[in-house]
């Protein structure tokens, strides 16, 4: 890290896990930039039988199996289509494109097993994909579930330890799950013997069991009133994954049918058909673990109509479709954690912190939940790969993990392990400190010559990232430079793009109030407008362009409006400090006090108030937020109204308390200045509507409901599942009472919490 800071710029760091993770992000971005799409075509026959439509894809043409790029352009596809249409017409009527004959039908039974219970990394991946949670947030919520939540009778730990790479569960937990599933869903949802999983993670230590609920009897629905939104959602997927891991396979009935063009009588049996089409049908025969572990709808889960070999079907349409290959996707938090795990890099306890450091160091930013490397991140990754490639190599890092595990397990002594690493590393570090001497050691790429002066134009690496430079730097001469804006990169920038950057900011006009010129340009922090000249007596004033404005399109009037911020509103009536309105990277705000003195107080502006028109009274009101409205009538927690970067909100609960506050977005037309406690309580999200009862017995206070795991009878204190062979709507009051009599009371079966 000190060498990075000396050679490149201050504040940089490298790490045994952090640097390979950054290298993964940068290498993926280079793959995307180097990607060139490739064209290919597909041919599909649209068929129908007994009112059911389905599709069959062309898989063979003139006896040759089709590969992805066999039909690489429109011309080849058109020729293939003409050949197929001609063959389809053989023996068919004149109406329509023709017919296909069923060549064979192959029914099969397939099964799909459940995934194992969560490890730290798979929990982080699932939380990222399903809940949109970052790894650090996931671990924070999991920690709160592990430490304990007040469920009405004191704090209870709801999950086992959340930093683990094991997929094994305690024998008692496995048995509890099997009994729970058999009781709630039936014996056919429980496999004949307990499932045992083996970890596929390289270098797994398995010091703790998998992440699971401490008691399966605590179903998520029973805890919803005691958990905040994040806790409930994370506990829900942990509970489901643990239960599903000990359930039976999902069973599918699959049918694969192949078709050839034309009628059977029109083609000689020995001749090769002009083409071969294939259709597949997939229906869920038994849900198994999918009963608990919900999945998204799959277009492949579609049954084919009954088909018999030799029958012919009319082709409704023979469609061709153009496709292009797509570049590999950027890493999400989930896929990056999986890549690190696959390479054997890092540990469950380090993933969240590693991803946080990459963001905090601004080596990468999140764009639509994907990691996009910044120029700073590219600079660090390129430098380390060029000068310390051994130490950012994936196999080296994984091997180091194995050695450290061996030390932890007592298989190796730590001194030889560290000596082997340090002797080579310190020697290389000393050599790099001696030979790498500042700016001339930073990479540069010659782009060409300036068309007028003939001076060389370079793309270079500097303290703040990549830039372009006109001419050579000497002790007496500092050449013109321009920072690469986002979207341009060191490897691909052209001479024309560099010359455009070197022309400098665009003159928009003159500010009549000051007589200073106004420019629009682009720097390392993005596009901006500028009032005044660089190098003049007064330092220029800058303002970043807001959404919807670009360096090329911004006008003088728009620039002056942006440069008018921050503007002074007046003195605060209570403190006398000056109040300002401005715009920052988190949006428009008001500010109490001046920078450089005591830390100013800030407040975000709601969407309906502009920093250009906000009044002193409005600003003072916003600076008083969050405002306490009173106590919640149900739980006694304080209720506040405030305004954050995402707009106005209602807050239930105090920050820093035992239970995390709950936040609710405040909709229009409510105002943060006039909102009352009664109005705040009304904007709470409505509870999910209760499912209508199948049947109710008002005299006995008994209801028959349709629950997640099937119909059940309840009297408010006890539940009893309705046997499968009985129709719930036909149950009498006496039958319901008998079912409830045989059912145990809710909560009567207690198990000690396991951690």
Angle at CA 581, nearest 5°, toward 578 and 582? 130
Q: What CA–CA distance (Å, rounded) separates 458 from 449?
A: 9
Which band of pLDDT confidence, cut at 50, 70 and 90, is reported for residue 686?
very low
Which band of pLDDT confidence, cut at 50, 70 and 90, is reported for residue 707?
confident
Q: How many CA atoms lie within 13 A of 298 on its CB side?
A: 12
Read off the pLDDT of each residue in 364-390 and give the average, rounded to a whole number: 86
Class of residue 478 by CB neighbours under 10 A (exposed 0-12, middle 13-18, buried 19+): exposed
End-to-end CA distance of the chain: 39
For 389-441, where are the alpha helices, taking DSSP H only? 389-392, 394-408, 414-435
pLDDT, residue 441, reads: 53
Read off the pLDDT of each residue in 66-75 and give the average, rounded to a whole number: 94
pLDDT digits (tens, 9 = 90+) for 272-288: 788 999 999 998 899 99
Asked whether residue 755 carries a pLDDT value surpassing 60, the answer given is: no
Higher-scoring residue by pLDDT: 44, 424: 44
In the chain, the percentage of residues whose pLDDT exceeds 90 is: 45
Q: Ranked by mean pLDDT, which of 494-503, 594-603, 713-722 comes out on top?
A: 494-503
Residue 126 makes CB contacts below 8 A (sequence gap 6+) with 118, 237, 241, 334
Q: Report which of 87, 45, 574, 579 is spatially closest to residue 321, judged by C-alpha positions.
A: 45
pLDDT, residue 247, reads: 95
Asked whether residue 298 carries a pLDDT value surpassing 80, the answer given is: no
Higher-scoring residue by pLDDT: 201, 178: 178
pLDDT, residue 570, reads: 94
Asked whether residue 300 carries a pLDDT value surpassing 70, the answer given is: no
Q: Evaluate whether 340 touches 165 at the Cβ level (below 8 Å).
A: no
Q: Evaluate whether 363 touches 399 at the Cβ level (below 8 Å).
A: no
Which band of pLDDT confidence, cut at 50, 70 and 90, is reported for residue 640?
very high
Which band of pLDDT confidence, cut at 50, 70 and 90, is reported for residue 205?
low
Q: Report which of 677, 683, 682 is spatially closest to residue 637, judged by C-alpha positions.
A: 677
Rg (Cα) of the chain, in Å, rounded?
34
Name the residues annotated as catalytic.
161
Write down all domains in the chain, each with its CATH number in brackets: 2-35+331-437 (1.10.460.10), 39-113+251-324 (2.70.20.10), 120-171+191-241 (1.10.290.10), 443-502 (no CATH), 506-546 (no CATH), 567-623 (no CATH), 627-682 (no CATH), 695-742 (no CATH)
Asked whether residue 745 carries a pLDDT value surpassing 50, the answer given is: no
pLDDT digits (tens, 9 = 90+) for 235-258: 999 999 999 999 999 999 999 999
Which band of pLDDT confidence, cut at 50, 70 and 90, is reported for residue 711?
confident
Q: What CA–CA distance (Å, rounded) separates 233 from 231?
A: 6
pLDDT, residue 630, reads: 93
pLDDT, residue 151, reads: 82
Class of residue 432 by CB neighbours under 10 A (exposed 0-12, middle 13-18, buried 19+): middle
In the chain, the percentage of residues whose pLDDT exceeds 70 is: 90
pLDDT digits (tens, 9 = 90+) for 427-454: 777 777 776 665 555 667 899 999 989 9
Read off the pLDDT of each residue in 449-464 and give the average, rounded to a whole number: 86
Read off the pLDDT of each residue in 502-516 and give the average, rounded to a whole number: 90
According to DSSP, residue 214 is labeled S
Mean pLDDT (the chain) is 85
Asked whether residue 747 carries a pLDDT value surpassing 50, the answer given is: no
Which band of pLDDT confidence, cut at 50, 70 and 90, is reported for residue 688?
very low
Class of residue 98 by CB neighbours under 10 A (exposed 0-12, middle 13-18, buried 19+): buried
Specify the pTM. Answer: 0.57
Which band of pLDDT confidence, cut at 50, 70 and 90, is reported for residue 754?
very low
Read off the pLDDT of each residue in 310-322 and give the average, rounded to a whole number: 93
Read off the pLDDT of each residue in 702-729 and give the average, rounded to a whole number: 80
Which band of pLDDT confidence, cut at 50, 70 and 90, is reported for residue 266?
low
pLDDT, residue 439, reads: 54
Q: How many CB atoms lie under 10 A from the CB of residue 166?
A: 22
The alpha carbon torsion through 464, 468, 472, 475 (nearest 10 deg) reads -30
pLDDT, residue 204, reads: 55
The three-state secondary structure class of 606 is: coil
Q: What CA–CA distance (Å, rounded) separates 739 from 725?
A: 14
Q: Report which of 332, 252, 318 is spatially closest to residue 284, judged by C-alpha positions.
A: 252
pLDDT, residue 94, reads: 66
pLDDT, residue 547, reads: 74
Q: What CA–CA distance (Å, rounded) separates 315 from 451?
A: 63
Least confident span in 188-192, 422-426, 443-447: 422-426
pLDDT digits (tens, 9 = 90+) for 380-420: 888 888 887 777 777 776 777 777 777 777 778 888 877 77
* Per-residue three-class SS string for 243-300: HHCCCCCEEEEEEEEEEEECCHHHCCCCCCCCEEEEEEEEEEEECHHHHCCCCCCCCC
According to DSSP, residue 505 is labeled P
pLDDT, residue 748, reads: 43
Taking the alpha carbons of 394, 399, 402, 407 in that order, is the dihedral positive or negative?
Answer: negative
Higher-scoring residue by pLDDT: 577, 751: 577
Asked whether residue 120 carries a pLDDT value surpassing 50, the answer given is: yes
Q: Evaluate whether 304 touches 257 at the Cβ level (below 8 Å).
A: yes
Read off the pLDDT of each residue in 348-352 and give the average, rounded to a whole number: 80
Least confident span in 148-162, 164-178, 190-204: 190-204
Higher-scoring residue by pLDDT: 443, 712: 712
Asked whether residue 203 carries a pLDDT value surpassing 70, the answer given is: no
φ, ψ for residue 302, nearest 5 deg: -135, 130
């Amino acid at each position: 890290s000190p060498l990075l800071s000396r050679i490149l710029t201050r504040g940089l760091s490298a790490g045994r896990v952090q640097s390979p993770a950054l290298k993964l992000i940068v290498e993926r971005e280079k793959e995307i930039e180097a990607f060139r799409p490739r064209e290919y075509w597909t041919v599909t026959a649209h068929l129908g039988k007994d009112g059911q439509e389905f599709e069959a894809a062309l898989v063979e043409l003139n006896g040759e199996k089709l590969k992805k790029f066999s039909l690489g352009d429109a011309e080849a596809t058109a020729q293939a289509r003409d050949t197929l249409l001609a063959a389809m017409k053989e023996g068919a009527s004149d109406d329509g494109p023709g017919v296909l004959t069923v060549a064979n039908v192959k029914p099969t039974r397939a099964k799909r097993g459940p995934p194992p219970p969560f490890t730290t990394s798979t929990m982080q991946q699932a939380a990222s994909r399903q809940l949109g949670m970052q790894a650090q947030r996931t671990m924070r919520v999991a920690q709160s579930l592990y430490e304990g939540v007040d469920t009405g009778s004191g704090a209870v730990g709801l999950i086992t330890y959340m930093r683990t790479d094991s997929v094994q569960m305690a024998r008692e937990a496995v048995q509890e799950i099997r009994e729970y599933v058999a009781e709630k869903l039936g014996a056919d949802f429980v496999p004949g013997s307990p499932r045992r999983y083996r970890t596929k993670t390289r270098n797994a230590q398995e010091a703790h069991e998998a992440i699971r609920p401490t008691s399966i009897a605590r179903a998520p629905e029973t805890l919803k009133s005691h958990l905040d939104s994040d806790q409930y959602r994370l506990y829900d997927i942990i509970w489901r994954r643990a239960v599903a891991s000990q359930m039976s396979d999902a069973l599918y009935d699959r049918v694969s049918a192949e078709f050839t063009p034309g009628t059977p009588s029109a083609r000689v049996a020995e001749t090769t058909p002009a083409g071969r089409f294939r259709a597949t049908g997939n229906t869920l025969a038994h849900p198994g673990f999918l009963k608990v572990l919900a999945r998204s709808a799959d277009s492949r889960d579609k049954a084919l109509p009954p088909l018999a070999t030799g029958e012919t079907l009319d082709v409704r349409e023979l469609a061709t479709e153009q496709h292009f290959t797509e570049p590999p996707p950027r890493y999400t938090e989930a896929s990056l954690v999986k890549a690190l795990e696959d390479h054997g890099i890092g540990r469950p306890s380090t993933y969240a912190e590693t991803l946080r450091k990459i963001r905090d160091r601004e080596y990468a930013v999140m764009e639509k939940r994907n990691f996009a490397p910044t120029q700073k991140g590219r600079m660090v990754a390129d430098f380390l790969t060029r000068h310390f490639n051994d130490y950012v190599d994936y196999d080296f890092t994984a091997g180091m993990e194995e050695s450290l595990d061996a030390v932890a397990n007592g298989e190796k002594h730590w001194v030889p392990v560290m000596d082997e690493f340090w002797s080579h590393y310190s020697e290389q570090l000393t050599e790099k400190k001696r030979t790498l001497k500042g700016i001339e050691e930073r990479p540069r790429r010659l782009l060409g010559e300036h068309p007028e002066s003939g001076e060389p134009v370079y793309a270079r690496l500097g303290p703040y990232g990549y830039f372009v430079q006109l001419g050579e730097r000497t002790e007496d001469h500092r050449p013109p430079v321009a920072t690469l804006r986002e979207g341009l990169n060191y490897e691909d920038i052209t001479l024309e793009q560099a010359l455009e950057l070197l022309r400098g900011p665009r003159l928009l006009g003159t500010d009549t109030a000051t007589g200073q010129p106004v420019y629009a340009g682009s720097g390392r922090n993005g596009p901006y407008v500028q009032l005044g000249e660089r190098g003049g007596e007064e330092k220029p004033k800058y303002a970043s362009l807001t959404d919807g404005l670009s360096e090329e399109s911004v006008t003088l009037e728009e620039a002056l409006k942006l440069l008018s911020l921050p503007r002074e509103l007046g003195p605060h009536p209570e403190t006398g400090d000056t109040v300002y309105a401005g715009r920052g990277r988190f949006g428009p705000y008001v500010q109490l006090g001046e920078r450089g003195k005591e830390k100013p107080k800030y407040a975000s502006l709601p969407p309906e108030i502009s920093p250009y028109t906000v009044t002193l009274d409005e600003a003072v009101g916003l600076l008083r937020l969050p405002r306490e409205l009173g106590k919640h009538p149900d739980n006694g927690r304080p209720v506040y109204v405030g305004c954050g970067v995402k707009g106005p909100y209602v807050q239930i609960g105090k920050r820093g308390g035992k239970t995390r506050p709950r936040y609710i977005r405040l909709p229009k037309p409510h105002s943060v200045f006039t909102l009352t406690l009664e109005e705040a309580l009304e904007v709470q999200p409505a509870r999910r509507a209760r499912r209508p009862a199948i049947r109710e017995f008002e005299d006995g206070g008994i209801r028959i409901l349709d629950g997640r795991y099937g119909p059940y009878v309840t009297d408010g204190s006890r539940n009893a599942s309705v046997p499968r062979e009985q129709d719930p709507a036909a149950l009498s009051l006496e039958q319901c009472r008998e079912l409830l009599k045989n059912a145990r009371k809710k909560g009567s079966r207690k198990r000690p919490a396991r951690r």
